[in-house]
Chain A
Amino acid sequence: MASERIIVVGGGLAGLMTAVRAAELGVAVDLFSIVPVKRSHSVCAQGGINGAVNTKGEGDSTALHFDDTVYGGDFLADQPPVKAMCEAAPGIINLLDRMGVMFNRTPEGLLDFRRFGGTKFHRTAFAGATTGQQLLYALDEQCRRYEVAGLVRKYEAWEFLGLVRDADGNCRGIAALDWYSMKIETFAGSAVMLATGGPGIVFGRSTNSVINTGTAASAAYQDGARYANGEFIQVHPTSIPGTDKLRLMSESARGEGGRVWVPRTQGDVRDPKAIPEGERWYFLEEKYPAYGNLVPRDIATREIFQVCLQGYGLGGRREVYLDLTHIPRKELDTKLAGILEIYEKFVGDDPREVPMKVFPGMHYSMGGLWVQFAKNESTGALDETSPKNQSTNVPGLFASGEVDFSIHGANRLGANSLVSCLYAGKIGGPAMVRYGRETSTKLPAAEGAFAEAKKRWDAEFARLANAAGPENPHVLAEEMGDWMTDNVTVVRENGKLKETETKLQQLEERWKNVGLTDRSGFANREISFINQLRNMLVIARVMTRGALMRDESRGAHFKVKDLAKGVTEENALPRDDANFLKTTIAEHSSEGPRISYLPVDTTLIKPRARKY
Chain B
Amino acid sequence: MPSSIRISVKRQDTPTSSPYWEEYEIPYQPRQNVISALMEMAKDPKTRAGKATSPVVYDRACLEEVCGSCAMRINGLSRMACTALIDSLEQPIRLEPMAKFPVQRDLSVDRGVMFESLKRIKGWIPIDGTYDLGPGPRMPEAERQQAYEYSKCITCGNCLDVCPQVNGRSNFIGAAPIAQARLFNSHPTGSMNAAERLEALMSEGGIDDCGNAQNCVRACPKSIPLTTAIAEMYAATTRYGIKKLFGT
Contact = CB atoms under 8 A, between A and B. Distances in A.
The answer to whether A binds B is: yes
Interface of A: 20-21, 24, 35-36, 38-41, 43-44, 91, 94-95, 97-112, 127-128, 130, 133-134, 137-138, 141-142, 144-145, 147-148, 180, 209-211, 242-245, 247-248, 334, 338, 342, 345-346, 348, 426, 472, 474-475, 478, 517-520, 522-523, 525-526
A77 B104 CA distance: 45
A101 B136 CA distance: 10
Given A38-B155, A39-B68, A102-B147, A475 B43 contact: yes
B237 interface: no
A342 B64 contact: yes
A44 B66 contact: yes
Contact of B33 (A39, A210, A244, A526): A244
B140 A105 contact: yes
Given A102-B148, A517-B55, A520-B54, A108 B66 contact: no
B115 interface: yes
Interface in B86-140: 104-105, 108, 111, 115, 118-119, 123-127, 129-130, 132-136, 138-140
B215 interface: no
Contact of A243 (B31, B111, B119, B133): B31
Contacts of B104: 180, 523
B47 interface: no
Contacts of B62: 39, 41, 43-44, 209
Contacts of A334: 145
B45 interface: yes
B42 interface: yes
Interface in B29-69: 29, 31-33, 35-36, 39, 42-45, 52-55, 57, 59-69
Contact of B39 (A35, A144, A244, A520): A244
B24 interface: no
A104 B147 CA distance: 11
A144 B115 contact: yes
B61 A472 contact: no
Contact of A145 (B53, B126, B136, B148): B126
15 contacts: A39-B67, A41-B62, A98-B133, A105-B138, A109-B138, A109-B139, A130-B66, A133-B154, A141-B124, A141-B125, A142-B127, A244-B33, A472-B43, A517-B52, A517-B53
A474 B42 contact: yes
B167 interface: no
Interface string B189-203: 110000000000000
Q: Which 10 A-B pairs have the closest CB atoms?
A: A109-B138, A244-B36, A97-B136, A141-B124, A518-B54, A100-B125, A523-B105, A98-B136, A105-B141, A39-B67
Contact of A100 (B33, B44, B53, B190): B190
Contacts of B125: 98-100, 138, 141
Contact of B64 (A24, A148, A243, A248): A248
A519 to B, nearest CB: 7
Q: Which of B14, B43, B62, B126 is packed against the most chain A CB atoms within 10 Å?
A: B62
Given A94-B134, A110-B138, A130-B152, 12 more contacts: A35-B61, A39-B68, A99-B127, A100-B125, A100-B151, A133-B152, A141-B125, A144-B123, A242-B31, A245-B64, A346-B85, A474-B42
Contact of B151 (A134, A148, A244, A348): A134
B184 interface: yes
A287 B92 CA distance: 51
B64 A247 contact: yes
B130 A21 contact: yes
A244 B35 contact: yes
A39 B69 contact: yes
Nearest to A522: B14
B239 interface: no
Given A35-B69, A517-B52, A144 B118 contact: yes
Given A94-B132, A100-B187, A180-B104, A245 B63 contact: yes
B144 A210 contact: no
Nearest to B35: A244
A106 B62 CA distance: 31
Nearest to A348: B85
A107 B141 contact: yes
B13 interface: yes
B84 to A, nearest CB: 10
B83 interface: yes
Contacts of A24: 129-130
A247 B63 contact: yes
Given A244-B33, A244-B35, A148 B130 contact: no
Contacts of B147: 102
Contact of A244 (B54, B63, B65, B68): B63
Contacts of A35: 59, 61, 67, 69
Contacts of B44: 472
Nearest to A127: B148
A41 B127 contact: no
A80 B230 CA distance: 50
Contacts of B129: 24
Contacts of B127: 95, 98-99, 142
Contact of A105 (B53, B130, B139): B139
Contacts of B155: 36, 38
Contacts of A247: 63-64
Given A94-B135, A109-B139, A210 B148 contact: no
Contacts of B82: 244
Contact of A94 (B68, B85, B136, B154): B136
Contacts of A210: 60-61, 63
B115 A127 contact: no
A145 B115 CA distance: 12
Contacts of A43: 62, 66-67, 154
B118 A346 contact: no
A526 B55 contact: yes
Contacts of B119: 144, 147-148
A335 to B, nearest CB: 11
Contacts of B67: 35, 39-41, 43-44, 209
A243 B32 contact: yes
B138 A243 contact: no
Nearest to B82: A244
A599 B136 CA distance: 41
A380 B100 CA distance: 58
Contact of B141 (A101, A106, A523): A106
A417 to B, nearest CB: 16
Nearest to B142: A105
A427 to B, nearest CB: 12
B176 to A, nearest CB: 12
Contact of B68 (A38, A91, A105): A38
A413 to B, nearest CB: 22
A388 B71 CA distance: 42
A39 B29 contact: no
A243 B55 contact: no
A128 B145 CA distance: 9
A337 to B, nearest CB: 9
